[in-house]
Amino acid sequence: MPGIQNKVIAITGASSGIGEATALALAERGAKLAFAARRVERLEALAGRIAASGGEAAYTRADVRRREDLSGLVELACKRFGRLDVLIANAGIGPVSRLDELRVGDWEDMIDVNIKGVLYGIAAALPVFRKQGFGHFVHIASTAALKIVPTMAVYSATKAAVRVIAEGLRQEAGDKLRVTIVTPGFVSTDFVESVTDPRVKAGLAASRDAFAIPPDAIARAIAFALGEPPEVDVNELVIRPTAQG
């Protein structure tokens, strides 16, 4: 895609799932990548795959709950490649459960990763985008923000917050910055592994195995949004399994 060739793109949560698939898809389309996650050994392997295919990638360990780690990712992209064109805020967790379970620690983790992690990314990249005069934020939400079901109240709230923050950012961005919300449905990732309630975990695993779509379906949607010309802002894409209710 001409619109992606040589773009410098930073991705959080790149060690697996949607983040990993997106890194591979964008590298294949000629992007230069800086990505981060907590599992450095997986990032190293991903960078090796990209390099072996002729791409360029840098990586760093980052926990999006730490503002300085997001600043470090943006700095890595700028130092290695001279600028930053896109920040994809993909990192997220979903240890869902019924509110009666009072898994307050899980609630706090979702707020810290899913909401604060997005805000810390904005804080790191927005000044760089303003100084450059261009830039593109991509925020990964969820269809859980559109349809609320039992066990997902807190997770849904965090993903609804992502959509609200991203839309507010879009309205404040002006005519030089773009903001895209990507809203996946059920995707075959290790999302289920973060669930601490055994019954809920088993139910989600069964649904995943029955109809979840592969992560590269989301990666292709992200590539579409990034490939549009600068005067076109793809504001939101919803991608879900055909079988998802």
- Rounded to whole angstroms, how far apart are CA atoms 64 and 116? 8
- Rounded to whole angstroms, how far apart are CA atoms 225 and 212? 22
Residues 6+ apart with CB under 8 A from 44: 59
- Rounded to whole angstroms, how far apart are CA atoms 72 and 160? 27
- Rounded to whole angstroms, how far apart are CA atoms 150 and 165? 24
CB 178 within 8 A of CB 226: no
Q: What is the DSSP letter of 90?
A: -
Other Cβ atoms less than 10 A from the Cβ of 241: the count is 19
Residues 6+ apart with CB under 8 A from 98: 150, 151, 197, 200
CA 187 to chain centre: 13
Give the SS3 label for residue 82: coil
The catalytically annotated residue of 155, 170, 183, 189 is: 155
Question: Annotated catalytic, 59?
Answer: no
Q: Which of 155, 121, 157 is nearest to 139 (CA)?
A: 121
Encoded amino acid at 84, one letter: L
CB 207 within 8 A of CB 164: no
Active site residues: 155
